[in-house]
Amino acid sequence: MRGTTVPPGTPCPPPRAGELPMHRLEVAEPPAPPFAIGTFDEIGPLSRAEFPHRHTFHELLHVTGGTGAHVVDTARWPLRPPHLGVIAPGQVHQWADVRGLTGHVVLFTDDFLLDYPADRERLRRLSERPWLALDARADDAVSRLIAELTDEYRRGDEGADSVLRALVHVLVVRAGRLPGTPEAPPAPAGAVAAEFARLTGRPDLGLWSVRAHADRIGVTPGYLTEAVKAATGRTAAQLLREARTREAQRFLLRTDLTVRQVASRVGFADPAYFCRFFRRETGLSPGDFRRGGEIHHD
């Protein structure tokens, strides 16, 4: 299934420094479809994860009870059930201060959309407004579809794959007809900029790109750039180049590491590229800087 699903028990590799956990959909061996449905309890504790993470699969959430909030990218959505949530593969999300969460979770990969490829674009558009409030009529309609999906999935009769795909298609199309929900406020720019400043002071974390910092904070790279520029007047990329250069300078002056080793410590796989970067930032080669023995500050 092209690496998007794994058999039960297959361990997920731990995330590298600065990366968010990436959850995969576990299914039984083929011919089981890349699909699962169940209550939050049945799907398991990761369906209620309170840390930022991503999925390799689509996730539809029918929330029928609970308090707290659901955070998607930079937006915090208060729980006022019933809701229908739509999370796209790769989208950062987490639960926050949630109590008494009830409802169902529908999980499936792109492979599951074989019969309805246009649903990929529908789901992408829905993920831009990922938290929909349901009135009584809409909630009743969603509840009926969820019940049919659950029954079909558990029975596993002949042709169940086709029925499941058709029911998900109906659910996606009807979700697209629901009125939009007012946008939740983004994470405060000042808080994002402050967290960025804290992380750049932690070179031991190995976060050497704007994207790595954005993923760690749980915002998009664009929003991080805007927040840092508003707070400092400088871009996140500029500040990261300076932090990277300072760390390289410390290694060159205070350790016996080779230039190749220093390059690796500050996130460069290619020592030659590191040398070009260092010369551009300081006006000196790493070797000349080390021989000069002084860190210059602007």
Q: State the pLDDT at residue 84.
A: 95
Final residue in a domain of this structure, among 140, 157, 177: 177
Per-residue model confidence (pLDDT) at position 3: 32
pLDDT above 50 (res 233):
yes
29 belongs to a structural domain: yes
DSSP 19: P
Give yes or no: residues 39 and 139 share one domain.
Answer: yes
Do 211 and 82 have their domain in common?
no
Mark whether 172 and 44 lie in a shared domain. Answer: yes
Tens of pLDDT, residue by residue over 3-14, are 333 334 444 455
pLDDT at residue number 5: 38
CATH of the domain at 26: 2.60.120.280
- At 116-137, the pLDDT tens digits run 888 988 898 888 788 888 999 9
Q: Assess whether pLDDT exceeds 80 at residue 43.
A: yes
Same domain, 137 and 165: yes
Residue of 215, 278, 180 lying closest to 74 (CA atoms)? 215
Looking at residue 71, what is its pLDDT? Answer: 87
Q: In this model, does residue 92 exceed pLDDT 90?
A: no
- The verdict on residue 59 lying in a domain is yes
Q: Which of 71, 167, 89, 169 is nearest to 122 (CA)?
A: 169
- Does the pLDDT of residue 156 top 90, yes or no? no
In terms of domains, do 193 and 173 share one? no
Please indicate, yes or no, if residue 55 is contained in any of the structural domains. Answer: yes
161-180 tens-digit pLDDT: 999 999 999 999 999 888 75
139, 95: one domain: yes
**Same domain assignment for residues 51 and 158:** yes
Closest CA to 109 of 90, 95, 83: 90
In this structure, the answer to whether residues 89 and 36 fall within a common structural domain is yes
pLDDT-derived band at 187 (thresholds 50, 70, 90) equals: low
Q: 210 with 225: CB under 8 angstroms?
A: yes
Burial profile 184-207: b = 16 or more Cβ within 10 angstroms, e = fewer:
bebbebeebbebbeebbeebeeeb
pLDDT at 294 over 60: no
Q: What total of structural domains would you count in the chain? A: 2
Break the chain down into helix, strand, coil percent, rounded to 5: 45, 20, 35
Residue 238, pLDDT score: 93
Residue 82 pLDDT exceeds 50: yes
Could you say which of 177, 208, 237 is where a domain stops? 177
- Let me know if residue 297 belongs to a domain: no
Q: Which of 20-24, 144-148, 162-166 has the lowest mean pLDDT?
A: 20-24
SS3 263: helix
Residue 184 has pLDDT above 70, yes or no: no
pLDDT confidence tier of residue 19, bands split at 50, 70 and 90: low
Model confidence at 185, in pLDDT bands (50, 70, 90)? Answer: low
Residues 199, 109, single domain; the answer is no
Q: Is residue 182 part of a domain?
A: no
Q: Which of the listed residues 136, 156, 177 is the one where a domain comes to its end?
A: 177
- The confidence score (pLDDT) of residue 40 equals 93
57, 130: one domain: yes
For residues 122 and 251, membership in a common domain is answered with: no
184 falls within a domain: no
Shared domain check, 209 and 168: no
Instruction: Determine, yes or no, domain membership for 298.
Output: no
pLDDT of residue 27: 54
- 183 found inside a domain: no
> What is the residue range of 99's domain?
5-177
C-beta neighbour count of 108 within 10 angstroms: 25
Any idea which of 8-12, 140-144, 232-236, 255-259 has the lowest mean pLDDT?
8-12
Dihedral of the alpha carbons of 89, 94, 95, 101, in degrees to the nearest 10 = 20
What is the DSSP secondary structure assignment for residue 225, as one 8-state letter? H
